[in-house]
């Protein structure tokens, strides 16, 4: 994978997700929602969202065409390379383990982006307050 392919695979989804997180964080701070009040709550919430997105898409992919999910869900699930393993219709135990592992990888990815977004929101708040 060259640099262009790497940016297309991870850069565009990361920018999309961080933009969504930043907008939601900004709105939740303005409206005093609990989501963006605590750093651990913010990161944990996004990790759970990432896990749920990946597992639900993996379950849908195992029930239908995995190419469709792979081609259309990469903005919210950039680590969907594991879908190739679901193409061979593995056993229920192996498929379940694979779905959980893909969910954990996506949860870690969302948590990482949530940390970066938290720092970005903190910088915006510091600039606005200064």
**Per-residue pLDDT tens over the stretch 48-64:** 999 999 899 888 887 87
Left if phi > 0, otherwise alpha if psi is -120 to 50, otherwise beta: which for 32? Answer: left
Name the residue range of residue 23's domain.
3-122
- Tell me if 129 is assigned to some domain: no
**Per-residue pLDDT tens over the stretch 3-43:** 666 666 677 788 888 888 888 888 877 777 766 667 888 88
- Tell me if 130 is assigned to some domain: no
**Burial class for 101, CB neighbours closer than 10 Å (0-12, 13-18, 19+):** middle
- Tell me if 8 is assigned to some domain: yes
Query: In whole angstroms, what is the distance from residue 121 CA to residue 123 CA?
Result: 5
- Tell me if 34 is assigned to some domain: yes
**Per-residue pLDDT tens over the stretch 71-118:** 777 777 777 767 777 777 778 888 888 889 889 999 999 999 999 888
Query: In whole angstroms, what is the distance from residue 130 CA to residue 128 CA?
Result: 6
Number of structural domains (the chain) is 1
- pTM for the complete prediction? 0.79
- Tokens found for residue 86: 């679901």
């Amino acid at each position: 994978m060259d640099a262009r392919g790497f940016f297309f695979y991870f850069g565009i989804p990361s920018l999309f997700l961080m933009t969504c997180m930043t907008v939601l964080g900004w709105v939740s701070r303005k409206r005093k929602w609990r989501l963006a009040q605590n750093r651990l709550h913010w990161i944990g919430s996004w990790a759970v969202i990432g896990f749920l997105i990946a597992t639900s898409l993996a379950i849908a992919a195992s029930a239908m065409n995995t190419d469709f999910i792979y081609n259309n869900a990469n903005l919210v699930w950039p680590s969907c390379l594991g879908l190739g393993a679901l193409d061979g219709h593995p056993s229920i135990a192996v498929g379940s383990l694979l779905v959980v592992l893909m969910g954990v990888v996506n949860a870690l990815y969302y948590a990482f982006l949530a940390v970066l977004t938290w720092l970005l929101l903190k910088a915006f708040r510091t600039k606005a307050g200064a």
